[in-house]
Amino acid sequence: MSQSSSNMVRALVLRELEAGKRDDGLWLQAMSESKMDSTKAQVRYLELRTQAMQGDVKGLLIKQIRGAVAQDTGVRLSNASLADYLSAKTLNK
């Protein structure tokens, strides 16, 4: 991800924390990795949540790109079929 998109994701994670939202599974992992030091766990949680959110964003982008490619391919196939139909119709004249 680009630097600006990474910064946006970090800002979203910060907003989640400010709103009192926390992924309990990631928090448990952060606490475990920091040997139950809550200050270190907060830093680790930010890293883990940012990574998770970046993965979610990448997944959504890939899904959108695949959908657009599939739609474009469908349009191309429809146009090709129309071109074949018109060319066959012209030959029959």
Determine how many CB atoms are found less than 10 A away from the CB of residue 57. 16
- Residues 48-80: pLDDT tens digits? 999 998 888 777 778 878 877 777 666 565 555
- Residue 50 tokens read as 């940012």
pTM exceeds 0.85 for this model: no
